[in-house]
Amino acid sequence: MPGRLLVSVSSIFDETLDGVRELVDHLDADAIPVSLLVAPHIDKRWHLAKDKTTRTWLRKQAGERALLLNGFDQPVQGRRAEFATLEEHEARLRLKGATRQMESLGFDLEMFAPPRWQMSEGTLEVLPDFGFDVAVSTRGIHQLQTGEFVQCRNLSVGEGYGAAKWWRRNIIRAAERGAERGNTIRLSISGRELGQKKVRRDFLAAASAAVEAGAKPSDYRAYR
């Protein structure tokens, strides 16, 4: 049985929006769904509430694409990932702030993907209390209502992971090999990297390679 191909983009804000749009357009042309990872704050300087252009674009996507909450204050590269080590109490406070702010902007999100996919047990424990039914981590996909877990590898470009040429080549090969084995392939990229045409080209090549090797294009809503 063929596995799924799950493609996602994070770090979507004013400075990256043009590159994100272009990538999404290419993926749409290839009939490959893309999941969007969104946060109310990024780097403590950007606020979705103050960025009408990005907010309007995301609202238009909400009906046709999978949107996942990507933390409260998605941190800059080099810092510890926001939800990587939190105990239940701190995770609850951050999730409360994030969900309230996103809801006030018209986004009622039921899927969660922490920055860099790094999620503590404390975070996982409290997610159902906020109405989340899917959570995605470095380990795989957690179906919170049933307790089922789907183990699947994530292949990331940027956002604390590599973006160099050798890394991108490895991503393409890994996506192809995994799809040939019938594995579910998760490909993710930071919007910060999409200003570079060669990075965008190689990421699209990885998605195409997975599809050609047998992976079925899908998005995270398939696990709800």
- What is the spatial distance between Cα 165 and Cα 117, in angstroms, rounded to a whole number? 22
Superfamily of domain 4-218 in the CATH hierarchy: Glycoside hydrolase/deacetylase (3.20.20.370)
Residue 196's pLDDT is: 93
Interacting residues of 92 by C-beta distance below 8 A, sequence separation 6+: 126, 129
For the chain, count helices (H), then strands (E): 6, 13
Mapped onto helix, strand or coil, the DSSP state of residue 111 is strand
* Residue indicated by tokens 């604390």: 160
DSSP sequence for 133-190: -EEE-SSEEEETTTTEEEE--EEEESTTS--SHHHHHHHHHHHHHHHHTT--EEEEEE
Contact 143, 111 (CB under 8 A): no
- The CA-atom distances, in angstroms, between 76 and each of 11, 81, 108, 165, 203 are 10, 9, 25, 22, 22
pLDDT score of 62? 93
Neighbours of 47 (CB within 10 A): 16
How high is the pLDDT of residue 44?
Answer: 79
Task: Enumerate residue ranges in the chain where pLDDT < 70.
Answer: 74-79
* 50-104 residue pLDDT tens: 999 999 999 999 989 999 999 998 664 456 789 999 999 999 999 999 999 999 9
CA dist., res. 163 & res. 201, Å (int): 12
pLDDT of 76 reads 47
